[in-house]
A and B are shown apart, each in its own frame.
Chain A
Amino acid sequence: MKQFNAQRREALKAGSATAIFGLFVSAGLVSPSHAQGAWNQAAFSAKGIADVVKGLGGSAPTPTKDVSWGSTPEIAENGAVVPVAVESKIPKTESISILVEKNPSSLTASFTIPDGTDPMVSTRVKMGETSMVHALIKADGKFHIASREIKVTLGGCGG
């Protein structure tokens, strides 16, 4: 009887070990395969510059003139396709975000700049109307902001 009990214990141990192994497997299966950072819902749905900065993990950005706007126009004829180029001259630039103040969601794009990549990006954005456009630069952990107005004429009607 004693021996039988011992065998039973062994069987139970083996059983639980299998169960634990199974847990590891299922844990491995459910681990996120897309390890990239999730899309920043809070920052992209924020209204107003201050809330966007907060959504990106900063507060009260310092105004800067160390940003070049490259080929960004001052007057855009077509609000659906406005070329925006931003180059940061601030050392240790970590990220560049583009904000269109009067769009339904101000934050348009946020680029992460790793070491070895120049702190300059250009893309095309949509603008509903004439608006201030801001370049929000994170450098060495601090936020800086540069701004310029882009006028949208929409077909030359003088909008």
Chain B
Amino acid sequence: MADPMRIRAKVEGDKTVVRVLMSHEMETGQRKDSAGKVIPAHFIQQVTATHNGKTVLSAQWGPAISKNPYLQFQFSGAKAGDKLQVTWIDNKGDKRTDEAAIAQ
């Protein structure tokens, strides 16, 4: 199981700004190791953020997202104390979900 994500969600005016830092190799499948063997691709393919069960952002990613991916977006309709969940799934089927409370 991969390391937890760091999720910051903060109310700013009438919006909630979300910043997520994930922990993932994001191996492209283009690189070779010292023996000249191709290192197999290993990267996050799908990301979903939900607030009160409603999807507020979903994404499909390719291997060209940087290692330890960063994501920022903002949405309306949440208040401080609400929970925000983020889930990712990678190309090997590994999966991770983390949750954060929205800060004032």
CB-contact partner of A105 in B15, B46, B64, under 8 A: B64
> Is B28 a contact partner of A40 (Cβ separation < 8 A)?
no
Among listed A7-15, A21-29, A119-127, A146-154, interface-contacting one: A119-127
> Is B70 a contact partner of A124 (Cβ separation < 8 A)?
yes
Take A80-B66, A126-B64 as given contacts and tell me if A116 and B77 are in contact as well, using a CB distance cutoff of 8 Å: yes
Chain B residues near A122 (CB-CB < 8 A): 70-73
> Is A111 a contact partner of B30 (Cβ separation < 8 A)?
no
Count of B interface residues, CB-CB < 8 Å: 32
96-147 of chain A: CB within 8 A of chain B: 100, 103-105, 107-114, 116-118, 120-127
> Is A110 a contact partner of B66 (Cβ separation < 8 A)?
no
Measured CA separation A38–B56 after assembly (Å): 18
Q: What distance in Å separates the Cβ of B16 from its nearest Cβ neighbour in chain A?
A: 10
> Is B66 a contact partner of A39 (Cβ separation < 8 A)?
no
Q: Does B85 contact A (CB under 8 A)?
A: no
> Is A125 a contact partner of B64 (Cβ separation < 8 A)?
yes
Take A103-B64, A110-B60, A114-B56 as given contacts and tell me if A123 and B30 are in contact as well, using a CB distance cutoff of 8 Å: no
Residues on B close to A: CB < 8 A? 15, 26, 28, 30, 45-46, 48, 54-67, 69-77, 89, 91
Residues on A close to B: CB < 8 A? 34, 36-37, 39-40, 44, 80-83, 85, 100, 103-105, 107-114, 116-118, 120-127
A-B CB contact pairs (8 Å), 5 listed:
A105-B64, A107-B62, A116-B77, A122-B71, A123-B70
Known: A122-B72, A123-B69. 8 other contacts (CB 8 A): A108-B65, A116-B75, A117-B74, A120-B73, A124-B66, A124-B70, A125-B64, A125-B65
